[in-house]
Amino acid sequence: ERGEYRHYMQKEIFEQPRAVADTLESRIGPHGVLPNIFGVGGDELLAKVRGVHIIACGTSYHAGLVAKYWIEEYARLPVAVEVASEYRYREAVVPADTLFVAISQSGETADTLAAMRESRRRGYLGTLAICNVPESSVVREADLKLMTRAGPEIGVASTKAFTTQLAALALLTLRLAHERGLDETRYLALCEQLQSLPRMIEQALQLEPEIQALAEHFIPRHHALFLGRGVQFPVALEGSLKLKEISYIHAEAYPAGELKHGPLALVDEDMPVVAVAPNGPLLDKLKSNLQEVRARGGELIVFADKAAPMDGNPSRGSVLRVDAGGEFIAPAVFTVPLQLLSYHVAVLRGTDVDQPRNLAKSVTVE
Ligand code: F6R
Protein backbone atom coordinates (compact mmCIF):
# COMPACT_ATOMS: atom_id res chain seq x y z
CA GLU A 1 0.00 0.00 0.00
CA ARG A 2 1.15 3.51 -0.82
CA GLY A 3 -0.30 4.99 2.39
CA GLU A 4 0.43 8.69 2.74
CA TYR A 5 2.68 8.70 -0.33
CA ARG A 6 1.70 9.84 -3.78
CA HIS A 7 3.67 7.13 -5.60
CA TYR A 8 5.39 3.87 -4.75
CA MET A 9 8.67 5.44 -5.78
CA GLN A 10 8.30 8.16 -3.15
CA LYS A 11 7.33 5.60 -0.53
CA GLU A 12 10.31 3.43 -1.44
CA ILE A 13 12.70 6.39 -1.28
CA PHE A 14 11.46 7.07 2.25
CA GLU A 15 11.73 3.40 3.24
CA GLN A 16 15.48 3.48 2.72
CA PRO A 17 16.57 4.05 6.34
CA ARG A 18 14.55 0.96 7.35
CA ALA A 19 15.64 -1.11 4.33
CA VAL A 20 19.33 -0.34 4.86
CA ALA A 21 19.05 -0.99 8.61
CA ASP A 22 17.42 -4.36 7.87
CA THR A 23 20.21 -5.21 5.43
CA LEU A 24 22.86 -4.50 8.08
CA GLU A 25 20.91 -6.14 10.91
CA SER A 26 22.73 -9.04 12.60
CA ARG A 27 25.52 -8.82 10.03
CA ILE A 28 27.74 -6.17 11.58
CA GLY A 29 28.38 -5.24 15.21
CA PRO A 30 30.75 -3.24 17.39
CA HIS A 31 33.59 -5.68 16.63
CA GLY A 32 33.09 -5.72 12.90
CA VAL A 33 31.39 -7.84 10.25
CA LEU A 34 29.91 -10.97 11.83
CA PRO A 35 31.10 -14.43 10.72
CA ASN A 36 29.31 -16.52 8.07
CA ILE A 37 27.01 -13.89 6.64
CA PHE A 38 27.68 -15.01 3.04
CA GLY A 39 26.46 -18.58 3.55
CA VAL A 40 28.13 -21.91 4.17
CA GLY A 41 31.89 -21.80 3.58
CA GLY A 42 31.70 -18.12 2.68
CA ASP A 43 34.41 -16.80 4.96
CA GLU A 44 36.84 -19.57 3.94
CA LEU A 45 36.24 -18.84 0.26
CA LEU A 46 36.50 -15.06 0.67
CA ALA A 47 39.84 -15.50 2.47
CA LYS A 48 41.28 -16.90 -0.78
CA VAL A 49 40.04 -14.14 -3.09
CA ARG A 50 42.73 -12.34 -5.11
CA GLY A 51 40.46 -10.34 -7.41
CA VAL A 52 36.80 -9.59 -8.07
CA HIS A 53 34.64 -9.46 -11.21
CA ILE A 54 31.27 -7.77 -10.75
CA ILE A 55 28.48 -8.25 -13.30
CA ALA A 56 25.06 -6.53 -13.32
CA CYS A 57 22.70 -4.34 -15.37
CA GLY A 58 21.37 -0.79 -15.02
CA THR A 59 21.17 0.52 -11.49
CA SER A 60 22.68 -2.67 -10.08
CA TYR A 61 25.69 -2.07 -12.37
CA HIS A 62 26.11 1.38 -10.81
CA ALA A 63 26.21 -0.25 -7.36
CA GLY A 64 28.99 -2.47 -8.71
CA LEU A 65 30.95 0.57 -9.87
CA VAL A 66 30.81 2.05 -6.36
CA ALA A 67 32.07 -1.26 -4.98
CA LYS A 68 35.08 -1.15 -7.29
CA TYR A 69 36.25 2.10 -5.67
CA TRP A 70 35.62 0.66 -2.20
CA ILE A 71 37.23 -2.77 -2.63
CA GLU A 72 40.29 -1.38 -4.39
CA GLU A 73 40.79 1.31 -1.77
CA TYR A 74 40.15 -0.67 1.42
CA ALA A 75 40.89 -4.29 0.48
CA ARG A 76 43.55 -3.51 -2.17
CA LEU A 77 42.15 -6.18 -4.50
CA PRO A 78 41.74 -5.55 -8.24
CA VAL A 79 38.10 -5.25 -9.32
CA ALA A 80 36.54 -5.24 -12.79
CA VAL A 81 32.90 -4.25 -13.28
CA GLU A 82 30.98 -4.94 -16.47
CA VAL A 83 27.40 -4.88 -17.72
CA ALA A 84 26.13 -8.43 -18.06
CA SER A 85 25.05 -8.10 -21.71
CA GLU A 86 28.64 -7.32 -22.71
CA TYR A 87 30.40 -9.72 -20.37
CA ARG A 88 28.52 -12.79 -21.51
CA TYR A 89 29.56 -12.38 -25.14
CA ARG A 90 33.27 -11.67 -24.81
CA GLU A 91 36.22 -13.66 -23.67
CA ALA A 92 37.03 -12.01 -20.37
CA VAL A 93 40.38 -12.92 -18.83
CA VAL A 94 39.93 -14.48 -15.40
CA PRO A 95 43.07 -14.43 -13.22
CA ALA A 96 43.47 -17.17 -10.60
CA ASP A 97 41.32 -16.91 -7.47
CA THR A 98 38.87 -14.35 -8.83
CA LEU A 99 35.44 -14.07 -7.24
CA PHE A 100 32.43 -13.60 -9.53
CA VAL A 101 29.78 -11.29 -8.06
CA ALA A 102 26.32 -10.90 -9.62
CA ILE A 103 24.20 -7.99 -8.39
CA SER A 104 20.49 -8.06 -9.13
CA GLN A 105 17.38 -6.78 -7.37
CA SER A 106 15.06 -9.29 -9.02
CA GLY A 107 17.48 -12.17 -9.47
CA GLU A 108 15.74 -12.90 -12.77
CA THR A 109 17.42 -10.46 -15.17
CA ALA A 110 18.14 -12.57 -18.24
CA ASP A 111 21.56 -11.13 -19.04
CA THR A 112 22.78 -11.30 -15.44
CA LEU A 113 21.62 -14.88 -15.07
CA ALA A 114 23.20 -15.89 -18.38
CA ALA A 115 26.46 -14.17 -17.39
CA MET A 116 26.49 -16.12 -14.14
CA ARG A 117 25.93 -19.40 -15.99
CA GLU A 118 28.69 -18.48 -18.44
CA SER A 119 31.02 -17.72 -15.51
CA ARG A 120 30.92 -21.41 -14.52
CA ARG A 121 32.92 -22.18 -17.64
CA ARG A 122 35.46 -19.47 -16.99
CA GLY A 123 37.18 -20.85 -13.91
CA TYR A 124 36.25 -18.57 -11.02
CA LEU A 125 37.03 -19.31 -7.40
CA GLY A 126 33.29 -19.06 -6.71
CA THR A 127 30.17 -17.01 -7.31
CA LEU A 128 28.41 -14.61 -4.96
CA ALA A 129 24.88 -13.28 -5.52
CA ILE A 130 23.80 -9.95 -4.04
CA CYS A 131 20.08 -10.02 -4.54
CA ASN A 132 16.73 -8.94 -3.11
CA VAL A 133 14.65 -12.06 -3.89
CA PRO A 134 15.72 -15.17 -1.93
CA GLU A 135 13.91 -17.69 -4.17
CA SER A 136 15.22 -16.17 -7.44
CA SER A 137 17.28 -18.00 -10.07
CA VAL A 138 20.43 -15.93 -9.47
CA VAL A 139 20.37 -16.80 -5.76
CA ARG A 140 19.60 -20.47 -6.36
CA GLU A 141 22.53 -20.86 -8.72
CA ALA A 142 25.19 -18.95 -6.73
CA ASP A 143 27.69 -20.55 -4.34
CA LEU A 144 27.44 -17.71 -1.84
CA LYS A 145 24.69 -15.16 -1.24
CA LEU A 146 24.10 -11.98 0.62
CA MET A 147 20.46 -10.89 0.50
CA THR A 148 19.50 -7.24 0.44
CA ARG A 149 16.46 -6.83 2.60
CA ALA A 150 14.76 -4.00 0.76
CA GLY A 151 11.37 -5.69 0.72
CA PRO A 152 9.28 -5.64 -2.47
CA GLU A 153 10.11 -2.78 -4.81
CA ILE A 154 7.07 -1.78 -6.90
CA GLY A 155 8.29 1.39 -8.64
CA VAL A 156 10.07 0.46 -11.86
CA ALA A 157 12.87 2.89 -11.05
CA SER A 158 15.13 1.25 -8.54
CA THR A 159 15.72 3.22 -5.31
CA LYS A 160 15.80 1.22 -2.08
CA ALA A 161 17.17 -1.76 -4.01
CA PHE A 162 20.21 0.36 -4.94
CA THR A 163 21.03 1.68 -1.47
CA THR A 164 20.59 -1.77 0.08
CA GLN A 165 22.91 -3.18 -2.60
CA LEU A 166 25.45 -0.56 -1.52
CA ALA A 167 25.00 -1.65 2.11
CA ALA A 168 25.57 -5.30 1.14
CA LEU A 169 28.61 -4.39 -0.99
CA ALA A 170 29.98 -2.34 1.92
CA LEU A 171 29.77 -5.48 4.08
CA LEU A 172 31.63 -7.43 1.39
CA THR A 173 34.25 -4.67 1.19
CA LEU A 174 34.79 -4.72 4.96
CA ARG A 175 35.02 -8.51 5.09
CA LEU A 176 37.61 -8.54 2.29
CA ALA A 177 39.48 -5.54 3.74
CA HIS A 178 39.74 -7.18 7.15
CA GLU A 179 40.96 -10.40 5.55
CA ARG A 180 43.55 -8.45 3.56
CA GLY A 181 44.98 -6.81 6.68
CA LEU A 182 43.37 -3.37 6.81
CA ASP A 183 44.53 -1.57 9.96
CA GLU A 184 42.20 -2.59 12.82
CA THR A 185 41.46 0.96 14.02
CA ARG A 186 40.55 2.04 10.51
CA TYR A 187 38.47 -1.11 10.00
CA LEU A 188 36.43 -0.49 13.15
CA ALA A 189 35.93 3.17 12.23
CA LEU A 190 34.57 2.13 8.82
CA CYS A 191 32.26 -0.41 10.47
CA GLU A 192 30.93 2.30 12.74
CA GLN A 193 30.42 4.62 9.79
CA LEU A 194 28.46 1.97 7.92
CA GLN A 195 26.20 1.45 10.93
CA SER A 196 25.35 5.16 10.90
CA LEU A 197 24.12 4.95 7.30
CA PRO A 198 20.38 4.58 8.07
CA ARG A 199 20.55 7.70 10.24
CA MET A 200 22.42 9.70 7.59
CA ILE A 201 19.90 8.69 4.92
CA GLU A 202 17.11 9.78 7.26
CA GLN A 203 18.75 13.20 7.48
CA ALA A 204 19.20 13.46 3.72
CA LEU A 205 15.47 12.79 3.28
CA GLN A 206 14.76 15.98 5.22
CA LEU A 207 16.01 17.91 2.18
CA GLU A 208 12.86 17.04 0.25
CA PRO A 209 11.18 20.49 0.39
CA GLU A 210 14.30 22.26 -0.90
CA ILE A 211 14.78 19.69 -3.63
CA GLN A 212 11.15 19.94 -4.65
CA ALA A 213 11.66 23.69 -5.14
CA LEU A 214 14.78 23.05 -7.22
CA ALA A 215 12.94 20.57 -9.39
CA GLU A 216 10.91 23.45 -10.90
CA HIS A 217 14.01 24.53 -12.83
CA PHE A 218 13.97 21.28 -14.77
CA ILE A 219 10.39 21.43 -16.04
CA PRO A 220 11.19 23.06 -19.40
CA ARG A 221 14.58 21.37 -19.89
CA HIS A 222 15.53 18.86 -22.56
CA HIS A 223 18.97 17.95 -21.27
CA ALA A 224 20.95 17.78 -18.05
CA LEU A 225 24.52 16.93 -17.15
CA PHE A 226 25.55 15.12 -13.95
CA LEU A 227 29.09 15.40 -12.63
CA GLY A 228 30.96 13.56 -9.91
CA ARG A 229 34.51 12.54 -9.20
CA GLY A 230 35.96 9.38 -7.71
CA VAL A 231 33.40 7.17 -6.00
CA GLN A 232 30.76 9.84 -6.65
CA PHE A 233 31.03 9.35 -10.40
CA PRO A 234 28.84 6.20 -10.27
CA VAL A 235 26.43 8.20 -8.09
CA ALA A 236 26.25 10.80 -10.88
CA LEU A 237 25.59 7.96 -13.36
CA GLU A 238 22.77 6.69 -11.18
CA GLY A 239 21.33 10.22 -10.81
CA SER A 240 21.29 10.68 -14.57
CA LEU A 241 19.68 7.26 -15.15
CA LYS A 242 16.91 8.09 -12.67
CA LEU A 243 16.20 11.43 -14.35
CA LYS A 244 16.14 9.84 -17.83
CA GLU A 245 13.88 6.95 -17.02
CA ILE A 246 11.16 8.72 -15.09
CA SER A 247 11.16 12.31 -16.39
CA TYR A 248 12.28 11.56 -19.99
CA ILE A 249 14.83 14.35 -19.83
CA HIS A 250 18.00 13.37 -21.63
CA ALA A 251 20.75 13.23 -19.03
CA GLU A 252 24.37 12.18 -19.12
CA ALA A 253 26.91 11.70 -16.39
CA TYR A 254 30.62 12.42 -16.61
CA PRO A 255 33.53 12.20 -14.27
CA ALA A 256 34.03 15.97 -13.88
CA GLY A 257 37.62 15.85 -15.14
CA GLU A 258 36.35 14.73 -18.55
CA LEU A 259 34.29 17.88 -19.04
CA LYS A 260 36.88 19.72 -21.05
CA HIS A 261 37.47 16.69 -23.26
CA GLY A 262 34.14 17.17 -25.00
CA PRO A 263 30.90 17.68 -23.07
CA LEU A 264 31.79 21.27 -22.10
CA ALA A 265 30.79 22.15 -25.68
CA LEU A 266 27.18 21.41 -24.70
CA VAL A 267 27.09 23.77 -21.74
CA ASP A 268 25.06 26.96 -22.17
CA GLU A 269 22.32 28.71 -20.19
CA ASP A 270 19.84 25.95 -21.10
CA MET A 271 21.93 23.15 -19.65
CA PRO A 272 21.48 22.46 -15.97
CA VAL A 273 24.54 20.83 -14.44
CA VAL A 274 24.09 18.74 -11.31
CA ALA A 275 27.26 18.11 -9.34
CA VAL A 276 27.94 15.89 -6.36
CA ALA A 277 30.62 17.50 -4.22
CA PRO A 278 31.60 15.49 -1.19
CA ASN A 279 34.44 16.62 1.03
CA GLY A 280 37.79 15.06 0.25
CA PRO A 281 40.95 15.34 -1.75
CA LEU A 282 39.09 15.79 -5.06
CA LEU A 283 36.97 18.74 -3.91
CA ASP A 284 39.31 21.43 -5.22
CA LYS A 285 39.55 19.69 -8.58
CA LEU A 286 35.77 19.50 -8.79
CA LYS A 287 35.44 23.16 -7.89
CA SER A 288 37.66 24.17 -10.77
CA ASN A 289 35.57 21.94 -13.09
CA LEU A 290 32.45 23.75 -11.85
CA GLN A 291 34.13 27.08 -12.52
CA GLU A 292 34.37 26.03 -16.17
CA VAL A 293 30.60 25.44 -16.23
CA ARG A 294 29.86 28.73 -14.50
CA ALA A 295 32.00 30.64 -16.98
CA ARG A 296 29.74 29.35 -19.79
CA GLY A 297 26.54 30.45 -18.11
CA GLY A 298 25.41 26.92 -17.20
CA GLU A 299 23.00 26.61 -14.30
CA LEU A 300 24.72 24.78 -11.45
CA ILE A 301 23.00 22.64 -8.87
CA VAL A 302 25.55 21.43 -6.37
CA PHE A 303 24.92 18.85 -3.68
CA ALA A 304 27.81 19.62 -1.34
CA ASP A 305 28.99 17.92 1.80
CA LYS A 306 28.25 19.98 4.92
CA ALA A 307 31.93 19.80 5.76
CA ALA A 308 33.10 20.92 2.30
CA PRO A 309 34.30 24.50 2.08
CA MET A 310 32.19 25.95 -0.77
CA ASP A 311 31.45 29.58 -1.60
CA GLY A 312 27.86 30.73 -1.22
CA ASN A 313 25.33 30.37 -3.99
CA PRO A 314 26.69 30.51 -7.50
CA SER A 315 25.35 33.39 -9.60
CA ARG A 316 23.05 30.96 -11.42
CA GLY A 317 21.97 27.95 -9.46
CA SER A 318 22.11 26.64 -5.92
CA VAL A 319 24.21 24.80 -3.40
CA LEU A 320 22.43 22.28 -1.21
CA ARG A 321 24.15 21.01 1.90
CA VAL A 322 24.16 17.27 2.60
CA ASP A 323 25.68 15.64 5.68
CA ALA A 324 27.46 12.68 4.09
CA GLY A 325 28.43 11.13 7.42
CA GLY A 326 31.94 10.15 6.24
CA GLU A 327 33.81 9.34 3.06
CA PHE A 328 32.95 5.63 3.02
CA ILE A 329 29.16 5.92 3.14
CA ALA A 330 28.97 9.21 1.21
CA PRO A 331 27.97 7.62 -2.12
CA ALA A 332 24.91 5.99 -0.51
CA VAL A 333 23.91 9.22 1.24
CA PHE A 334 24.35 11.43 -1.84
CA THR A 335 22.19 9.07 -3.88
CA VAL A 336 19.12 10.09 -1.88
CA PRO A 337 18.88 13.77 -2.90
CA LEU A 338 19.39 12.76 -6.54
CA GLN A 339 16.51 10.27 -6.27
CA LEU A 340 14.31 12.98 -4.78
CA LEU A 341 15.30 15.39 -7.54
CA SER A 342 14.31 12.96 -10.32
CA TYR A 343 11.13 12.04 -8.53
CA HIS A 344 9.95 15.63 -8.16
CA VAL A 345 10.96 16.60 -11.69
CA ALA A 346 8.92 13.67 -13.00
CA VAL A 347 5.92 14.57 -10.84
CA LEU A 348 6.06 18.18 -12.07
CA ARG A 349 6.30 17.03 -15.67
CA GLY A 350 3.33 14.76 -15.13
CA THR A 351 4.87 11.47 -16.24
CA ASP A 352 3.80 8.06 -15.00
CA VAL A 353 6.40 7.87 -12.23
CA ASP A 354 5.90 4.28 -11.12
CA GLN A 355 5.44 2.88 -14.63
CA PRO A 356 7.69 4.79 -17.03
CA ARG A 357 6.96 4.18 -20.70
CA ASN A 358 8.73 1.30 -22.48
CA LEU A 359 10.24 -0.15 -19.29
CA ALA A 360 9.54 -3.30 -17.28
CA LYS A 361 10.44 -3.96 -13.66
CA SER A 362 12.16 -7.23 -14.37
CA VAL A 363 13.90 -7.75 -17.70
CA THR A 364 13.65 -11.51 -18.20
CA VAL A 365 14.35 -11.44 -21.93
CA GLU A 366 17.63 -10.60 -23.60
C1 F6R B 1 16.70 1.37 -13.15
C2 F6R B 1 16.42 -0.06 -13.02
C3 F6R B 1 17.11 -1.02 -13.94
C4 F6R B 1 17.53 -2.27 -13.19
C5 F6R B 1 18.11 -3.31 -14.15
C6 F6R B 1 18.63 -4.53 -13.43
O7 F6R B 1 16.04 2.11 -12.20
O8 F6R B 1 15.65 -0.46 -12.19
O9 F6R B 1 18.20 -0.41 -14.56
O10 F6R B 1 18.47 -1.91 -12.22
O11 F6R B 1 17.12 -3.69 -15.07
O12 F6R B 1 17.64 -5.17 -12.70
P13 F6R B 1 17.98 -6.21 -11.56
O14 F6R B 1 18.69 -5.49 -10.49
O15 F6R B 1 16.66 -6.77 -11.12
O16 F6R B 1 18.86 -7.27 -12.19
Predicted pLDDT of residue 294: 86
Strand intervals (E) in the chain: 28-29, 32-33, 51-56, 79-83, 98-104, 126-131, 144-147, 223-228, 250-255, 272-277, 299-305, 317-322
Predicted pLDDT of residue 209: 98
Share of the chain above pLDDT 90, in %: 85
pTM attached to this predicted model = 0.97
Predicted pLDDT of residue 290: 86
Q: How far is CA 113 from CA 55, 88, 275, 336, 366, in A?
A: 10, 10, 34, 28, 10
57 CA from centroid of ligand 1 (Å) = 6
Is ipTM beyond 0.95?
A: yes
Sign of the CA dihedral 320, 324, 329, 332?
Answer: negative
Catalytic residue among 68, 244, 285, 361: 361
Predicted pLDDT of residue 191: 98
Q: Which of 54, 88, 101, 109 to mutate to test the pocket of ligand 1 (most atoms within 8 A of CB)?
A: 109
Predicted pLDDT of residue 98: 98
Distance from C-alpha of 269 to C-alpha of 180, rounded to nearest angstrom: 49
Predicted pLDDT of residue 51: 98
Output the ligand 1 site: residues, CB below 6 A. Answer: 57-60, 104-106, 109, 112, 157-158, 241, 245, 362-363
Regions of the chain with pLDDT less than 50: none
Percentages helix, strand, coil for the chain (3-state, rounded to 5) are 45, 15, 35
In angstroms, the first-to-last Cα distance of the chain is 31
Q: Is 361 a catalytic residue?
A: yes
107 CA from centroid of ligand 1 (Å) = 10
Predicted pLDDT of residue 109: 97
Predicted pLDDT of residue 123: 96
Residue closest by Cα to atom 3 of ligand 1: 58
Q: Which of 101, 106, 338 to mutate to test the pocket of ligand 1 (most atoms within 8 A of CB)?
A: 106
Q: Are 180 and 75 in contact (CB under 8 A)?
A: yes
- Beta-carbon contacts of 96 under 8 Å, excluding residues fewer than 6 positions away, are 50, 125
